[in-house]
């Protein structure tokens, strides 16, 4: 058994998964919440056992990691005998700027680079650093790998990543499209490319559009396995509307609304990131399950929110078909696209002109969150549902870098 610990640290939370990379199996997973706040809670779920939750003080991320290691090695409910069986740790890191286009073994230079990128990821990068430093303190000598969300977007050509602002916005302030959900787009596009190659295509010629549609949503145009464009930008706010985020809007709306309402920069930021999207339009919820239920009951704003979402996703698919000069496969992944067949139908209806021949009945009846094709076998363009697996991808990257060195 070769165990890799995967860490996704937020400002007051820390998600973890212990993965046996030989079998590619999750051994245990969980989350520490309310780190640095009163009533911190650790939750823990071993693959073959009962879930467990415990209130325990965690002042820092290091305290949280120590508790995770304690529970993983606990004599009664633990899954490993001691800490030394954890061979490496993989950390999800939001922003690597233009420095990193691939996962990297963490050393002092990498820590500095993550720190330098704090202005670009002011909420996430400090939290990611706390997670890394907490692990380093609790597990000295264990190799650590950083897997950057932004690495995927580094292959975009300049015409795709530049904004038409004065050039110094890019040179002085690093304003450009970076893109996010990189680990997910990389994994599912890789799976789709494998399927296309098995059908006889050359890898370099494959044209894939990946739709990561979850609470946050983004699309990516992928040629020969490389990202050519992606819908999120300098921050994860750009692109399609999301659970609570507005996605792309006329930028002049911001000064207009600030002038009309008196909102300051933090307030307008929260307005666009936390109060908009599906929640803002529907007034019901950010969750697509709630929107579907409200739509069924005749709630017109919930129906409108869903339609707006599908319309924008469909527009991006059309735009990315133009970017790629056609499309061979469209991938549907993440919470909404893996589970909600009606949303898939609303997005894909009307895209037949691209060359897809949908099996609409199968789309509705197929099992959820399962790797499958929802186009007919003779379809020129293949539409795949591929469950994303960011943690396993991080674990694979970590094993490759830390154990094969």
d(CA 227, CA 160): 10
Q: Does residue 232 belong to the site contacting ligand AMP (CB under 6 A)?
A: no
Closer residue to ligand AMP (CB): 194 or 289: 289
Q: Does residue 10 belong to the site contacting ligand AMP (CB under 6 A)?
A: no
Q: Does residue 149 belong to the site contacting ligand AMP (CB under 6 A)?
A: no
Q: Does residue 288 belong to the site contacting ligand AMP (CB under 6 A)?
A: yes
403 exposure class (CB count in 10 Å sphere: 0-12, 13-18, 19+) = middle
Q: Does residue 296 belong to the site contacting ligand AMP (CB under 6 A)?
A: no
User: CB of residue 217 vs ligand AMP: minimum separation in angstroms?
Assistant: 8
Which one among 241, 243, 280, 387 touches ligand AMP, defined by CB under 6 A? 243
Closer residue to ligand AMP (CB): 288 or 320: 288
108: tokens are 């002092």
d(CA 293, CA 297): 7
Closer residue to ligand AMP (CB): 340 or 397: 340
Q: Does residue 334 belong to the site contacting ligand AMP (CB under 6 A)?
A: yes
d(CA 136, CA 143): 9
User: CB of residue 292 vs ligand AMP: minimum separation in angstroms?
Assistant: 6
In b/e form, how buried is each residue of 355-379, taking b as 16+ CB within 10 angstroms?
ebebbeeebeeeeeeeeebbbeeeb
Pairing of strands 207-213, 329-333: parallel
User: CB of residue 287 vs ligand AMP: minimum separation in angstroms?
Assistant: 4
Which one among 267, 287, 359, 373 touches ligand AMP, defined by CB under 6 A? 287
The contacts of residue 43 (CB under 8 Å, 6+ apart) are 30, 31, 32, 33, 51, 52, 53
Q: Does residue 340 belong to the site contacting ligand AMP (CB under 6 A)?
A: yes
Specify whether the CB–CB gap between 247 and 272 falls below 8 A.
no
Q: Does residue 392 belong to the site contacting ligand AMP (CB under 6 A)?
A: no
- Which amino acids are annotated catalytic? 149
Residues that bind ligand AMP (CB under 6 A): 214-215, 243, 287-289, 334-336, 339-340
């Amino acid at each position: 058994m070769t165990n890799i610990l995967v860490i996704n640290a937020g400002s007051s939370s820390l998600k973890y998964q212990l993965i046996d990379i030989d079998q590619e199996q999750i051994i245990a997973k969980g989350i520490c919440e309310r780190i640095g706040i009163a009533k911190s809670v650790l939750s823990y779920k071993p693959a073959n056992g009962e879930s467990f939750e415990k209130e325990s003080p965690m002042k820092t991320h290091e305290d949280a990691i120590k508790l995770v290691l304690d529970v993983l090695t606990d004599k009664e409910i633990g899954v490993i005998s001691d800490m030394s069986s954890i061979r490496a740790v993989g950390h999800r890191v939001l922003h690597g700027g233009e420095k990193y286009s691939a996962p990297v073994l963490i050393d002092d230079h990498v820590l500095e680079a993550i720190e330098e990128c704090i202005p670009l990821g002011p909420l996430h990068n400090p939290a990611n650093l706390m997670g890394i430093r907490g692990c380093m303190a609790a597990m000295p000598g264990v190799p650590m790998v950083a897997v950057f969300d932004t690495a995927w977007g580094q292959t975009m050509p300049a015409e795709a990543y530049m904004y038409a602002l004065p050039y110094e916005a890019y040179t002085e302030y690093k304003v450009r499209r970076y893109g996010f959900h990189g680990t997910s787009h990389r994994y599912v596009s890789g799976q789709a490319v494998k399927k296309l190659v098995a059908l006889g295509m050359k890898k370099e010629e494959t044209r894939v559009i990946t739709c990561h549609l979850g609470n946050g949503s983004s699309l990516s145009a992928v040629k020969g396995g490389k990202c050519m464009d992606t819908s999120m930008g300098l921050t994860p706010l750009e692109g399609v509307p999301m659970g609570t985020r507005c996605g792309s809007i006329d930028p002049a709306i911001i000064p207009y609304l600030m002038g009309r309402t008196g909102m300051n920069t933090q307030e307008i930021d929260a307005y666009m990131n936390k109060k908009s999207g599906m929640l803002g339009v529907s007034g019901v919820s950010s969750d697509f399950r709630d929107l579907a239920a409200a739509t069924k009951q005749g709630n017109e704003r919930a129906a409108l929110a869903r339609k707006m979402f599908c319309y924008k996703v469909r527009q991006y698919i059309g735009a990315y078909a133009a970017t790629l000069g056609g499309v061979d496969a469209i991938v549907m992944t993440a919470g909404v696209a893996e589970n909600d067949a009606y949303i898939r139908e609303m997005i894909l209806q009307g895209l037949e002109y691209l060359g897809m021949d949908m099996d609409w009945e199968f789309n509705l009846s197929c099992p959820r969150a399962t790797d499958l094709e929802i186009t007919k076998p003779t379809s020129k363009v293949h539409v795949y549902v591929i469950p994303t697996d960011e943690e396993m991808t991080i674990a694979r990257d970590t094993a490759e870098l830390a154990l094969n060195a």
